[in-house]
Amino acid sequence: MHLRRDSGSLPQRQRVAYDLRQANHTLAAVGSLEGALVRFENVGLRYGMGPEVLRDLTFSIEPQTFQFLTGPSGAGKTTLLRLILLALRPTRGFISVFGRMSHELDKDEVTGLRRRIGVVFQDFRLLDHLTTYENVALPLRVRGREEATYRAEVTELLQWVGLGERMHILPPILSGGEKQRAAIARALIARPELLLADEPTGNVDPALARRLLRLFVELHKSGTSVVIATHDLELMNQFDGARRLVLGDNRLHIDD
């Protein structure tokens, strides 16, 4: 269960495709003065009638940045990621994603914005009736791409995360670490502008965690903004270039 390549860079073909997309995004950003990918203004969140889980959150996630989101279990890391993903509405304050105010979006617009975000869920959320390959290819399929145009790309990425031999089997047969890598590959395949990963190294040993971190750093270097929720201090210490968004006492503290 090791990654095929020790570190290396993203496959060349993907990098070229990414650079072109990045150029388009940069132009789009200039055209619309888009600025930050995500902006929170005085955001508060409570579940139902419960106490405020998050309070007074004001921060931005800028293009091409790397941040760890940290804090003890129950601090609100998953809740914060769900707010960014527009899966939860703030109970007060404002959230904008890709320059759009969250409360002004209809369902189709939310779906469109979410496609620009890659997500690694804590519980993976692989579809059990699709093979590993089909799961990873899904974000491209829902964009209307023909299989012939992405088969090599998907196979290459699966090999890169060490699942080359496992790509035609169903997720229930994969180990926890393999599911995690499949979920990571699915989040990366469409070259998202923003990647959110919820404890993505929670199910693997420290050596594999380091390799997966390198994969995220590589993605970041190719232009994606990355947010990794983790309480693994050792992991965070392996990448000095990252901001730390620290949740505690329902508030957010930022270490630049």
Ligand X SMILES: Nc1ncnc2c1ncn2[C@@H]1O[C@H](COP(=O)(O)OP(=O)(O)O)[C@@H](O)[C@H]1O
| Interface ranges with ligand X (CB under 6 A) | 47, 50, 53, 71, 73-79
- Partner touching 64 among ligand X, Mg ion, none, CB below 5 to 8 Å by kind: none
- Partner touching 75 among ligand X, Mg ion, none, CB below 5 to 8 Å by kind: ligand X
- Partner touching 211 among ligand X, Mg ion, none, CB below 5 to 8 Å by kind: none
Neighbours of 177 (CB within 10 A): 17
Neighbours of 96 (CB within 10 A): 20
63: amino acid identity, one letter: P
**Which residues have a Cβ under 8 Å from the Cβ of 59 and sit 6 or more positions away?**
39, 40, 245, 252, 254
Element (H, E) at 119: strand 117-120
Between 22 and 78, name the residue whose CB sits nearer to Mg ion: 78
Between 60 and 78, name the residue whose CB sits nearer to Mg ion: 78
Neighbours of 12 (CB within 10 A): 9
Between 31 and 50, name the residue whose CB sits nearer to ligand X: 50
Between 188 and 229, name the residue whose CB sits nearer to ligand X: 229
Under the binding rule (CB under 5 A), the answer on residue 78 touching Mg ion is: yes
Q: Contacts with Mg ion in 213-232 (CB under 5 A)?
A: none
Q: Which stretch binds Mg ion (CB under 5 A): 25-33, 71-79, 135-143, 157-165?
A: 71-79
Which regions of 9-87 does DSSP assign to beta strands (E)?
A: 38-46, 52-61, 66-70
- Partner touching 149 among Mg ion, ligand X, none, CB below 5 to 8 Å by kind: none
Q: Which two tokens stand for residue 102?
A: 């969250």
- Tell me how far apart the alpha carbons of residues 194 and 212 are, in angstroms, rounded to a whole number: 17
- Partner touching 79 among ligand X, Mg ion, none, CB below 5 to 8 Å by kind: ligand X
Chain contacts with Mg ion (rule: CB under 5 A)? 77-78
